[in-house]
């Protein structure tokens, strides 16, 4: 089996990863969010509707579908990223806000904040580094 390069999306953050050399090891990570790429969720055989989550009958059971594994039947799903639909939770938050007399705009801001929690933590870390003089960009 020869090697080849592919373009794929990170299953977690959705960033486009260019020229990934296949087959990649179980230690391969996304260059943006540093999540493992050799995971069940990023495999063509992954199917959350099936009881063990895998269409390959011979594959060993993997409990943590989002953690790196040694599966020999792993096949990269180049489009594994699924944008989360939070419309139901936003509607529920709006109803709760109305019930308790809270400002809907504040509730919507909290919803947007939840959607970008990772980005916010990255911003906070950058601000801490800036405040304590540990900014590497200077």
For residue 136, tell me if it sits in a domain: no
Encode pLDDT of 116-128 as tens digits.
566 677 777 778 8
**What is the residue-wise DSSP string for 24-62?**
PPTT-B-TTT--BSSSGGGBTTB-TTSTTSBS-TTSPP-
| Continuous segment of H or E residues that includes residue 5 | strand 4-9
Same domain, 30 and 74: yes
- Distance, in Å, from the CA atom of 46 to the CA atom of 61, rounded to the nearest integer, reads 12
Same domain, 57 and 19: yes
Same domain, 113 and 69: no
Mean pLDDT of the 5-33 span: 90
Encode pLDDT of 20-70 as tens digits.
888 888 899 999 999 999 999 999 999 999 989 999 999 999 999 999 999
What's the structural domain count of the chain?
Answer: 2
Same domain, 77 and 116: no
Same domain, 105 and 67: no
Mean pLDDT of the 6-28 span: 90
- Distance, in Å, from the CA atom of 112 to the CA atom of 116, rounded to the nearest integer, reads 6
Residues shown for the chain = 138
- Distance, in Å, from the CA atom of 83 to the CA atom of 13, rounded to the nearest integer, reads 9
Residue 8, pLDDT score: 92
8 A C-beta contact, residue 111 and residue 40 = no
Same domain, 56 and 10: yes
* Residue where the block lists tokens 């504040």: 106
Q: What's the token pair of residue 115?
A: 């959607």
Backbone angles phi, psi at 127, to 5 degrees: -65, -40
For residue 126, tell me if it sits in a domain: yes
Residue 30, pLDDT score: 92
Beta-carbon neighbour count of residue 19 at 10 Å? Answer: 8
For residue 119, tell me if it sits in a domain: yes
Which residues, listed in sequence order, are joined to residue 121 by a DSSP beta bridge? none
Which structural domain, as residue segments, surrounds residue 31? 1-81
């Amino acid at each position: 089996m020869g090697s080849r390069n592919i373009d794929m999306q990170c299953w977690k953050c959705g960033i486009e990863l260019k020229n990934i050399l296949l087959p990649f090891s179980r230690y391969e990570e996304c260059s943006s969010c540093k999540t493992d790429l050799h995971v069940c969720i990023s495999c063509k055989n992954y199917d959350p509707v099936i009881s063990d989550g895998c269409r390959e009958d011979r594959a060993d059971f993997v409990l943590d579908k989002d953690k790196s594994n040694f599966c020999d039947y792993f096949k990269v799903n180049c489009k594994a990223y699924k944008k989360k639909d939070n419309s139901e939770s936003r509607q529920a938050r709006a109803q709760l806000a109305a019930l308790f007399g809270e400002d809907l705009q504040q509730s919507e801001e909290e919803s947007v904040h939840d959607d970008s929690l990772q980005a916010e933590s990255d911003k906070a870390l950058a601000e801490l580094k800036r405040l304590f003089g540990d900014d590497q960009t200077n």
